[in-house]
Homo-oligomer: A and B are copies of this chain.
Amino acid sequence: MKKTLLFPLLACGMIVYGQNGDPRLTEVWEPEPRVVTPGATDKDAPSDAIVLFNGKDLAEWESMDGKPAKWTVENGVVTVAKGTGAIKTKKAFGDCQLHIEWRTPAVVKGEGQGRGNSGIFLMGLYELQVLDSYNNRTYSNGQAASIYKQIPPLVNASRKPGEWQTYDIIFIAPRFNKDGSLKSQARITVFHNGVLVQNNMAIWGATQFIGIATNKAHGEKEPLVLQDHGDPVSFRNIWIRELE
């Protein structure tokens, strides 16, 4: 640190300041945070968000094979069309804030993993489970708001089937070293219907149905994927803010 200390204040200012000092020394003016206009309500997309589903069409989505997405859009809602397969965003994303609303069928059918099952795959690899977990016991690390087959939610904050539910997600992508090894784990924070259910948890690796989570190097950005698990789960009001 600078060696030559001058204490001119001792001669005058310190008398007035006493134990205080100049409060302006701890003000930081630059850079000025850029302005983002929040949505009309907190659920609505802020001005810097990319709206992934606007209620009208699947312009931002495609099938896994790159062909047009075949899910059903009706009344401002997109619903899994059984057997048409997962859909993915045309754009790719890394670190992000993601808002998504989903609804499992009001008419309950099946149980456990067989009831209102879908999934949100961050980067197409890390699944945040979507499931009707209202009075529907399954394995804890497979219920709604779990990181599938890895981390159960802190609590079960599910709404009833047929009601709209929300996920507000902060996702930090994993980083890989040049040699392909894992540098830092992905991290996730999730609010389910306004309730904190994943608190900055480290994701183990890419979701696997069988066996262990894996960590193979991948891109800094990858498309977001919504799963077709055969149940007519619906989604609406999907927007994402890139953190970069």
Contact = CB atoms under 8 A, between A and B. Distances in A.
A199 to B, nearest CB: 6
Range of interface residues on chain A?
35 or more
Contact of A166 (B7, B14, B35, B42): B42
A48 interface: yes
A80 to B, nearest CB: 12
Given A21-B21, A155-B33, A177-B243, A149 B212 contact: yes
A154 B26 contact: no
The secondary structure that dominates the A interface is loop
Nearest to A229: B3
Contacts of A37: 157
A170 interface: yes
A168 interface: yes
30 contacts: A1-B229, A6-B16, A7-B22, A8-B16, A21-B210, A22-B25, A23-B209, A26-B149, A27-B139, A27-B142, A27-B212, A28-B152, A31-B217, A32-B156, A33-B153, A33-B156, A34-B155, A34-B179, A35-B156, A41-B194, A42-B42, A46-B193, A141-B212, A149-B212, A154-B177, A168-B194, A170-B196, A178-B244, A189-B200, A212-B212
